[in-house]
């Protein structure tokens, strides 16, 4: 138990009082650490992204505006990046980062237009997990008609 606890502790990167980042989560669980960008300042996002990029080779920030994403990209200067406007997700990659395909298949369905952003966020995260994703389809709900 003690050895397992120590291994887990080694996987956590602390950024002062700002964040505790599980930089090796993807190796243990197959799911990358995702930082919630909502409510964080430009500078907090920059600091977190820099640490994730240098420690894990990739930084994923969800619910981030285009303005915040542009600031982070300009300051961090990743090897490459992608910003998904509809999903509001920024992903930064180091030069050494190599994606891994796990072979999982995911289909994403949403209940209407109000869910599109969440469905797109799920799509991007599943892709970053190495899954093949079937394009999301909105299944509008029709009210029943009484006869």
Structural domains in the chain?
2-97 (3.30.1370), 99-139 (no CATH)
CA distance 23 to 18: 15
The HSE-up count of residue 19 (CA atoms within 13 Å, CB side) is 21
pLDDT at residue number 136: 63
Encoding tokens for residue 119?
Answer: 């469905």
The one-digit pLDDT tens for each residue of the chain (147 residues) are 777 655 655 666 666 766 666 666 566 665 677 889 999 999 999 988 998 888 788 899 999 999 999 999 999 999 999 999 999 999 999 999 888 777 789 999 887 788 889 999 999 999 998 999 987 666 665 555 555
| Secondary structure letter of residue 139 according to DSSP | -
Encoding tokens for residue 43?
Answer: 């500078």
pLDDT at residue number 12: 63
Q: Can you list the positions of beta strands (E) in the chain? A: 12-15, 19-22, 35-36, 58-62, 80-84, 89-93, 105-110, 132-138
């Amino acid at each position: 138990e003690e050895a397992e606890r120590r291994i887990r502790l080694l996987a956590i990167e602390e950024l002062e009082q700002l964040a505790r980042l599980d930089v090796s989560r993807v190796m243990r669980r197959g799911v990358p650490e995702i930082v919630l960008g909502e409510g964080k300042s430009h500078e907090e996002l920059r600091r977190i992204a820099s640490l994730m990029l240098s420690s894990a080779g990739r930084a994923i920030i969800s619910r981030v505006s285009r303005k915040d994403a542009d600031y982070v990209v300009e300051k961090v200067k990743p090897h490459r990046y992608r910003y998904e406007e509809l999903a509001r997700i920024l992903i930064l990659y180091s030069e050494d980062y190599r994606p891994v395909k796990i072979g999982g298949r995911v289909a994403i369905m949403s209940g209407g237009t109000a869910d599109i952003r969440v469905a797109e966020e799920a799509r991007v995260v599943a892709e970053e997990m190495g899954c093949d994703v079937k394009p999301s389809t909105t299944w509008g709900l029709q009210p029943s008609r009484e006869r």
